Amino acid sequence: MDKLLIRGGRPLAGEVEIGGSKNAALPALAACLLTDQPVRLKRIPPVRDIGTMERLLAWTGASLQIEGGEVLVRAGSLENPEAPYDLVKTMRASSLVLGPLLARTGRARVSMPGGCAIGARPINLHISALEALGARITQSHGYVEAEAPQGLRGAEIRFDRITVTGTEDVIMAAVLAAGETVIENAAREPEVQDLALLLTKMGAQIEGAGTPTIRIQGVSRLHGTEHVIIPDRVEAGTFMIAAAITAGDLRIRDCVPEHVHALTLRLRQAGTEVSEEGPCTLRVSARERLRSADITTEEYPGFATDLQAQFTALMATAQGIAIVTETIFENRFMHVPELARMGANIRLEGRQAIVAGVAELAGAQVIASDLRASASLVLAGLVARGETLIDRVYHLDRGYERIEEKLAAVGADIRRVQ
């Protein structure tokens, strides 16, 4: 099993190029199941979750040609409209094929999603929305089984709480449903907007993506297209925090500054310099110890929950006391005990972490519990005195492409070991 060995204390300097968004590429791949014509997707990050989704598409009957960061999907006939447990047990995004398979074939059988152990993340919001579109759904033996032999029909849907994957799933089901579908309290994330853009290129009629109300006029069929996936805002945010925590100076290239605006505000509040050097480049630098800054995770455009663990690591060495409030997932502080092993002073009170910054962290052996917790430990290791050895980095490989190589290229002493 791979581990990461880090010798901390080096400021990072140079340029980092951000890859395609994993969280946008996953629904885009699922959307390819909605047409029998070829769809070419570009800037697909070669991370573990993407490989799982590609194997899932192949299982359903689609053919894939993968060349570098491009994937050509031909879903001519879908003989197995199913997502079996053995394929998707490590990935939350398995539920994203439920809507497309149901809309295209009239039936779907999908294993209940797995992924990081950061909270329950129930699928009931997906199910009730698809039932409103006319699907008959049962749950048994760990599977969701859905049928719509007469096809789906448009409906008015209001989510009780905002759900990104639920919004994406319903959009993909509704584009082939008869009539109009209106989604209220829809997720506004850039990944939802990117999916809507792809589907529109395929012939779907969608209005309001990026707002709380999305309107979809169903069409009888979609066609093939080409589409470039947006940059990964979580990867961009992670490297922004890496520059801040090491008192470094990094240019973050091929990103969308608007997508990380909430993080930018908090970094500036803490004393980090963040400037835009063009429409797709941010420069992030810090020359002295940072000040504490509070955050509360929220749905977009608020502070992203996927950057909470990394920001907590940053606050562990800041001057003062920071309060980190997690409102999205009930179990997303699993990185805190491992940061404490490195000398961090953090107290948990329900959904809040009270972080009293210390002057220095110390390297230690730590274990990654989930994807973003892994990134927080890498960041802590970059600034800690001595050596940090991070176990279970397969979590990191689910969402970051060659992160140790990118960090080493800008000055980090980091390498992968067996």
How far is residue 259 CA from its own chain's centroid? 13
Between CA 153 and CA 133 the distance in angstroms is 5
How many CA atoms lie less than 13 Å away from 249 in the CB half-sphere?
A: 2
Q: What is the largest CA-CA distance in the chain?
A: 65
Contact 103, 175 (CB under 8 A): yes
With H, G, I as helix, E, B as strand and everything else as coil, classify residue 96. Answer: helix
Between CA 300 and CA 228 the distance in angstroms is 21
Between CA 320 and CA 269 the distance in angstroms is 13
Marked catalytic residue, from 32, 116, 255, 280? 116
Kind and range of the H or E run holding 53:
helix 48-60
- Which residues touch 109 (CB under 8 Å, ≥6 apart)? 81, 82, 83, 143, 144, 145, 146
How far is residue 7 CA from its own chain's centroid? 28
* Nearest alpha-carbon partner for 337 in 307, 357, 364: 364
- Which residues touch 358 (CB under 8 Å, ≥6 apart)? 316, 317, 343, 344, 345
Between CA 62 and CA 77 the distance in angstroms is 7
Determine the residue type at 101.
L
Between CA 204 and CA 214 the distance in angstroms is 13
* Nearest alpha-carbon partner for 339 in 414, 245, 409: 245
Residue 116 annotated to the active site: yes
Residue appearing with tokens 């002493």: 413
- Which residues touch 134 (CB under 8 Å, ≥6 apart)? 148, 150, 151, 152, 153, 155, 177
- Which residues touch 171 (CB under 8 Å, ≥6 apart)? 99, 183, 192, 195, 196, 199, 206, 209, 214, 216
Between CA 239 and CA 322 the distance in angstroms is 21
As annotated, the active-site residues are 116
